[in-house]
């Protein structure tokens, strides 16, 4: 990415958008002129409300005093009043705009991966992320929406850890070149007992095969997937 130095107006290459100077010397000269002299902000006049406001030197291109004035300015330039109304970019301009898309370099990607390696989010942080992601979720199925939530994933992990990642029916588990897909089963129905959905005591670790058999028995009307005995029948 090519940028122009704020102090000496020379072109230089950089990997980040935040860099404004070609070297430390130019940054020191700019700092001695502005920061050390006590000039840390500029006073500008808003074109909408004609009020004066302070702008820091890092954001000297700011034109409006508030978001409200900026929205009012956008309203005045909508439709036929917009100077770009009925015009289109040329193919050359479109190609230039495409080339301005920011992408991390391979070195930057490696640095980020090394910095994040071995780190894990806390349970509170993961819960906040799940609420932010699934607030107004597009999922149509209510059951799928719950299964994508943090509470359900945390409940499933607790059930697996309690049962030592072992199927409670056939006793199979991963290892020795064998891969077993495990699932967390609700002993009491997920639909009929909403208060027990995230109760660990209501969970059971099963392999996919055993889970399918128990679900079929529950669909046929047998309580908790158990076969009917002669006495009960």
Q: Per residue of the chain (233 residues), what is the pLDDT tens digit?
A: 788 888 898 888 888 877 888 988 998 888 777 766 666 778 889 988 988 988 877 677 888 999 889 888 888 887 787 878 888 888 888 887 776 667 788 899 888 888 888 888 888 888 887 777 655 545 456 677 777 788 888 899 999 999 999 999 888 888 877 888 899 998 888 878 888 888 999 999 999 889 988 888 777 665 444 444 443 33
Q: Measured between alpha carbons, how far is 213 from 219 in angstroms, rounded to an integer?
A: 10
Under 8 Å between Cβ of 182 and 169: no
Per-residue pLDDT at 227: 46
**Rounded to the nearest 5°, which phi and psi values hold at 52?**
-85, 145
Which phi-psi region, left, alpha or beta, contains residue 91 (left: φ > 0; alpha: ψ -120 to 50)? alpha
* CA torsion angle 210 211 217 223 (round to 10): 110
């Amino acid at each position: 990415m090519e940028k122009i130095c704020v102090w000496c107006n020379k072109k230089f290459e950089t990997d980040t958008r935040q860099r404004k100077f070609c070297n430390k010397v130019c940054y020191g000269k700019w700092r001695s002129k502005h920061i050390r002299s006590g000039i840390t902000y500029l006073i500008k006049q808003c074109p909408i409300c004609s009020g004066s406001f302070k702008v820091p030197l890092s954001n000297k291109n700011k034109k409006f005093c508030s978001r409200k004035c900026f929205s009012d300015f956008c309203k005045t330039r909508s439709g036929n009043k917009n100077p770009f109304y009925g015009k289109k970019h040329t193919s050359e301009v479109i190609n230039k705009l495409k080339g301005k898309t920011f992408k991390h370099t391979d070195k930057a990607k490696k640095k980020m991966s090394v910095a994040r390696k071995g780190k894990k989010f806390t349970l509170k942080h993961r819960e906040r992320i799940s609420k932010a992601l699934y607030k107004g979720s597009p999922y149509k199925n209510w059951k799928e929406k719950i299964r994508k939530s943090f509470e359900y994933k945390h409940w499933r992990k607790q059930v697996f850890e309690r049962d030592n990642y072992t199927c409670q029916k056939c006793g199979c588990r991963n290892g020795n070149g064998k891969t077993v897909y495990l699932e967390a089963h609700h002993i009491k129905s997920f639909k009929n007992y909403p208060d027990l959905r995230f109760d660990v005591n209501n969970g059971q670790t099963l392999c996919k095969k055993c889970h399918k058999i128990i679900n079929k028995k529950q669909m046929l009307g047998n309580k908790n997937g158990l076969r009917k005995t002669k006495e009960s029948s």
